[in-house]
Amino acid sequence: MTAAPATLVPPGPRRPEIVVRGQRIPVVLPRRGDPRLKLSAVIMTLHVLGQTVLDFKVSIAQILVSIVAGALIEATVTYRRQHQLVWPASGILTGSGVAFILRASGTDHGDWWSLIGIGFFVVAVALSLAFKHLVRPGGRHLFNPSNVGLVWALLVIGPSQVFPQYLWWGPNAWGVAFAYAVILVGALWILRPLRMLPMAASFLVPFAVLIGVLAATGHRFVAIWHDGPIAGLSYWWTIAWSPELLVFVFFMISDPQTAPRSPLGRMAYGTLTALVAAGLTSFQPTEFGIKLAILSSLTVSCALVPLIERLTAAPARPARPVRPGQAQGWARALRRPSVAAAVIIALAAPLNTAVLAGNDQVMLIERGLTGEANAQ
């Protein structure tokens, strides 16, 4: 009996690499099916609309520097850990996301190459990626990078120097309509394959209802782009259905790396974020405060993802009573730096956001009564 001839397996394609001083360094390029490429395409399209027809107060230079800073930080950290040059998709998205929302006072639309406040953009990007790589309880980054970086940049730097992109996207009705179309088509394109549309709905429905209740009970806010307080139906529509709010829901909450993994967990996560956002919004008389309330809500819900996943997991066995030593185990966990940092971040963000309700400086800025930083 003769042995069967050996089957020759053709060698697979060689991974790209570069050689530096005789050392071969593997290069990992983006995959065509990576959803982050889709998200980058959508956000960059909105950046283009902001620069052309929506009068966004951010320069091309501020956008590019933010993206480059994010890419360099992410690529450097990844190389030091893996000894590979990996396409820094997360860093690029983080930089792009920061530049999409953060604004530096004194920058006007049309200042294409202005570097006003560029240090604030770099700080926000660096904070975002520091939280991602350093605050990792359980070995998984807990917070959405651009979200938590933006929250703390806005809180620490303050409203006299920086502010978030307006809820109102300008008087160009056709431009705004096109932006809505890009957001909605982009949401279907990205979220449908990820099965995250129910999660988006679990935020949008309760949030719209709760903001409607606030509007019906006389809540109002002031914004620098509007004469007088915004109340009633305008209050509800501007907050609950702003294109800025939809970007937050479809393209920030939906980060697969920080959202719960199960469908039920994701819906609980979306609903919790909506409840926290509406609760924090109820305190705020200014647009600056409302935007921070919405952003801070995600910081809180991201911190609770491990608990959400535990509570929504299918029970494999009857729940066991808490043992006497279990509380001590939780206390030990809180002494771990990454866990302690996560708790501090999650508690301090909404508390500092709530305090903004009594900040007279924010009210004066929104009324256009102090300085010219945000003036139209």
At 222, which amino acid appears? V
Q: What is the DSSP string of 25-90?
A: EEEEPPPTT-HHHHHHHHHHHHHHHHHHTS--S--HHHHHHHHHHHHHHHHHHHHHHHSSEE--HH
Q: Which domain holds residue 107?
A: 24-312+333-366
205 CB-near residues (< 8 Å, 6+ apart): 274
What global pTM score does this model have?
0.88
Looking only at the bridges linking them, the beta strands covering 85-86 and 23-28 are: parallel
Alpha helix (H) ranges present in 135-242? 145-157, 173-194, 197-216, 232-240
Q: Does the residue 153 lie in any domain?
A: yes
Q: Is residue 11 part of a domain?
A: no
Residue at 32 is within a domain: yes
Summarize pLDDT for 257-268 with one digit per residue, the tens: 999 999 999 999
Helix and strand numbers (H, E) in the chain are 15, 7
**Number of domains observed in the structure of the chain:** 1
- 118 assigned to some structural domain: yes
Residue at token pair 């920080």: 258
Asked if residues 371 and 365 have their Cβ atoms less than 8 Å apart, the reply is yes
Quick one: pLDDT at residue 17?
72
**Cα gap 229→156, rounded to integer Å:** 27
- Looking at the domain assignment, is residue 112 inside a domain? yes
Task: Quote the pLDDT of residue 270.
Answer: 97
Q: At what angle do helices 197-216 and 173-194 cross, to 10 degrees?
A: 130
Would you say residue 229 lies in a domain? yes
User: What is the pLDDT at residue 110?
Assistant: 92
Residue 13: the pLDDT is 58
What local confidence, expressed as pLDDT, does residue 271 receive?
A: 98
Please report the pLDDT score of residue 318 as a whole number.
Answer: 53
* Largest interatomic CA distance in the chain: 97
Smallest Cα–Cα separation from 276: which of 264, 268, 287? 268
d(CA 147, CA 97): 8
| Phi then psi dihedrals of residue 103, to 5 deg | -130, 140
Does 17 fall in a domain?
A: no
CATH number of the domain where residue 64 is located: 1.10.3430
pLDDT digits (tens, 9 = 90+) for 19-51: 777 777 788 887 877 888 999 999 999 999 999
Contact status, residue 211 vs residue 281, Cβ threshold 8 Å: yes
Question: Residue 14 has what pLDDT?
Answer: 65
CA 309 – CA 67 distance, rounded (Å): 32
Domain presence at residue 44:
yes
Can you list the residues of the chain whose pLDDT is less than 50? 1-9, 12, 319, 325-331, 333, 371-376
